[in-house]
Chains A and B, each alone.
Chain A
């Protein structure tokens, strides 16, 4: 926690000397990292749980493996979209 606090205070010290445009760029650059990091938490848990359950289903009923796999990819695609929107926000904050 203290590391984050000292980093934040450093950022504030830097921000005091910077012009408004630089301040905005600094804030965008640091929040871009947070945006992607936070967006990755939920989908990470979700995909882990989803694939775990799919493996369990395939182990219990190997004859249904094909169908389970297709449904699993579908579920991954829906869950992953949230993380990817976070990535797009990262790109927009960092570069746009």
Chain B
């Protein structure tokens, strides 16, 4: 499958938007057709795992931080102050490695949306956010069972206290759905849809710029279209950061809810 640079040009001369397969599917680099097929998505996921790891290993251990160590310590402090303390409290510091890894992986993976030659957010393929969301589901259920016991966790998550007896017929199925199905689903879909929407938005304005560049008099609109492309690139950098933050924050909120039920 080749990616046509001038997909914007259709036979009739009008603007033709490239199909969704051209936007999110990539040819295999290695092992084509096998289970271990290695394409751009796999490369990006390996990179977004390796880059934070290398950053953390390469940063110094000086008393007075400088350069890379500032970035690394800043990210740890950000997770401590903005994610763990408001959502779990001081006893949540043992989840710092998990939350920091999730934040860095999601954030760096999202940032590939605006890095030239990659131009593809990792999380615009459902497999990645879905795996992360299932991981989060396993983690918060395990934490709940560890801190309250199996019966206690099920009781506190399915039977919220202080309701008339009859209402539990209605409330318990709803609580079950919302805790064990809708939570991971919405966590995955939020990240996926945000990144796919941003990717399609950037592609739309990129395609529009190409089409306007090749047109005769409509080229006067090109500066506006290009300006929107630049502005949206900045917006997408913000969205990348915010989605990583929100994913880590929601993970922390779910863990905190499983740790102490009557919040």
Contact = CB atoms under 8 A, between A and B. Distances in A.
Interface in B195-225: 196-197
Interface string A68-96: 00110110110011001101100100110
Interface string B209-251: 0000000000000000000000000000000001001100110
Contacts of A94: 20
B193 A74 contact: no
B250 A77 contact: yes
A70 B249 contact: yes
B147 interface: no
Contact of A84 (B19, B81, B87, B194): B194
Nearest to A73: B246
A73 B190 contact: no
A67 interface: yes
Contact of A74 (B81, B186, B253): B253
B197 A84 contact: yes
Interface residues of A, number: 17
A75 to B, nearest CB: 11
Interface residues of B, number: 20
A84 B253 contact: no
Contacts of A76: 246
B197 A74 contact: no
A77 B19 contact: no
A95 B18 CA distance: 11
Nearest to A77: B246
B102 interface: no
Given A67-B86, A95-B19, A84 B193 contact: yes
A74 B82 CA distance: 12
Interface of B: 19-20, 81-82, 86-87, 186, 189-190, 192-194, 196-197, 242, 245-246, 249-250, 253
